[in-house]
Amino acid sequence: MSTNDTNIASYIDHTILNADATGADIERICAEAAKYRFFSVCVNPIWVSTVSAALAGSGVLTCSVIGFPFGATPTASKVFEARGAIADGANEIDMVINIAAARAGDEEALVADISAIADAVHEGGAILKVIIETSMLSDDEKVLACRASVRAGADFVKTSTGFGGGGATVEDVALMRATVGPDLGVKASGGVRSLETARAMIDAGATRLGSSSGVAIVEGEQGAEGY
């Protein structure tokens, strides 16, 4: 067994982002995260306080998504949402970029949007991951979005929401790693449902994995359809 296999749980943001998730679902995810020692539990903002309380003392962090899943909300709204999630106990924030700006090649608009959220997140003592939604972008647009994320002071770039018609690929992870260099985190998310896939993403340069199949991954099984 490789080093990556033995500590694979420490790469995983155990995720439940579907709109019909119930309180019981959230409690189950938190219990799984504490049992397997995942890095974090990632949820929609309404569940942050629940997750933060459930994970207290476990060593597992609380992550929330902002501007999710489309990124098509004003910067001020994203800032407000991020601050609220941090106040509720989020340690990490995964924001969706202004995808239209990336498609238009408007790097300055991307930097302005991301940097405002980065400032708010860092003021709150949290870290920022920037979801660029790779399935909707050309390679040049992916590079542009990653470059803007670096300029704006993000801590990670992330492949996908998992709700945009595509997920992480090894090629995209490698491109993102090559663009941001060795110091920024790269999170592969969307379609990571097996140990084999998780291992491939890490080998390509991912330092974090977002998945609703975390238990299947660490058990060496194939996860069901989902994030």
pLDDT tens, residue by residue, 127-169 = 999 999 999 999 999 999 999 999 999 999 999 999 988 899 9
**Cα end-to-end distance, the chain, whole Å:** 26
pLDDT at 6 over 60: no
pLDDT at 2 over 50: no
Average pLDDT, the chain: 95
The pLDDT value given to residue 165: 85
User: Which of 78, 73, 98, 195 lies closest to 149, judged by CA?
Assistant: 98
**Beta pairing, strands 12-16 & 40-43:** parallel
The pLDDT value given to residue 218: 95
pLDDT digits (tens, 9 = 90+) for 174-221: 999 999 999 999 999 999 999 999 999 999 999 999 999 999 999 988
Query: Which amino acid makes up residue 157?
Result: V
- Pull the structure tokens for residue 81: 């949402």
Query: Which amino acid makes up residue 199?
Result: R
What are the residues facing 209 on neighbouring strands? 12, 188
User: Which of 40, 9, 30 lies closest to 198, judged by CA?
Assistant: 9
The pLDDT value given to residue 4: 45
User: Which of 120, 162, 133, 221 lies closest to 18, judged by CA?
Assistant: 162
pTM over 0.75: yes
Which residues are catalytic, by number?
94, 158, 187
Greatest Cα pair distance, the chain, in angstroms, is: 47
Determine the average pLDDT of the residues in 76-92: 98
The pLDDT value given to residue 1: 31
- Pull the structure tokens for residue 92: 């990490």
Separation of alpha carbons 89 and 83, rounded Å: 10
Determine the average pLDDT of the residues in 69-87: 98
